[in-house]
Chain A
Amino acid sequence: EDKVVQSPLSLVVHEGDTVTLNCSYEVTNFRSLLWYKQEKKAPTFLFMLTSSGIEKKSGRLSSILDKKELFSILNITATQTGDSAIYLCACISGSRLTFGEGTQLTVNP
């Protein structure tokens, strides 16, 4: 059975801190790993990672994939209160996404 595990499950930081969210996976026929941000309802897309070692960057967020060790990290620098959300990691195998439990990030002013 495919498995995606995220850590930590919950994280509380102060504005300006840097955070690293972790995602490990055991997925048959792995194709890609995606990161989503879930605030109120719908997961909104952040990054898709297919190749090892190539960092994807968008503003203060960046992510990288290690296909040998089967994990990915999502970094957020200079956190803001608007970064407070659940961050979801998901892997594509076949046509389905298998999601992790998510990391609940709270950024306090």
Chain B
Amino acid sequence: EPEVTQTPSHQVTQMGQEVILRCVPISNHLYFYWYRQILGQKVEFLVSFYNNEISEKSEIFDDQFSVERPDGSNFTLKIRSTKLEDSAMYFCASRKLSQGADTQYFGPGTRLTVL
């Protein structure tokens, strides 16, 4: 069964450094998402992406964040200058483009640790 994949599984970085988290969505899916989960807290929406542009973003997704679909398969989340509070599990998700196909399928996540 097709799955969303994410790399790396764990990333450790120094405060102020840039990180890029990578995702390969399910191949026939056209909507892509990033969520994060700070340890012990709820899963929170960051951004949705369709047709090569952001369709919706949360208040968390400020100028330090950006997303890109650099080729036909990858979907990336970049954090320009990481802060301690960016430490979290970051999940990528994708879904089909068809009416009623609201189910978002999640990848295994990237644990980001900012020191």
Interface residues of A (CB under 8 A from B): 31-32, 34, 36, 41-45, 48, 50, 88, 90, 92, 94-102
Contact = CB atoms under 8 A, between A and B. Distances in A.
Contacts of A44: 106
B107 A42 contact: yes
Contacts of B100: 50
Contacts of B102: 31-32, 34, 48, 50, 92
Contact of B104 (A41, A50, A97): A97
A32 B45 CA distance: 16
Nearest to A38: B43
For the complex of A and B, list the 9 residue pairs with the smallest distance between their C-beta atoms, beginning with the closest: A95-B48, A96-B45, A99-B43, A42-B106, A32-B102, A95-B56, A42-B108, A41-B109, A41-B108
B31 interface: yes
A43 B45 contact: no
A100 B109 contact: no
A104 B4 CA distance: 24
B45 A97 contact: yes
A42 B89 CA distance: 10
Contacts of A94: 56
Interface in B75-93: 89, 91, 93
A96 B42 contact: no
Contacts of B35: 97
28 contacts: A32-B102, A34-B103, A36-B106, A42-B4, A42-B91, A42-B106, A42-B107, A42-B108, A43-B91, A44-B106, A45-B104, A45-B106, A50-B100, A50-B102, A94-B56, A95-B33, A95-B50, A95-B55, A95-B56, A96-B45, A96-B48, A97-B33, A97-B45, A98-B45, A99-B42, A99-B43, A100-B42, A102-B42
Interface in B27-55: 31, 33, 35, 42-45, 48, 50, 55
B65 interface: no
Contacts of B55: 95
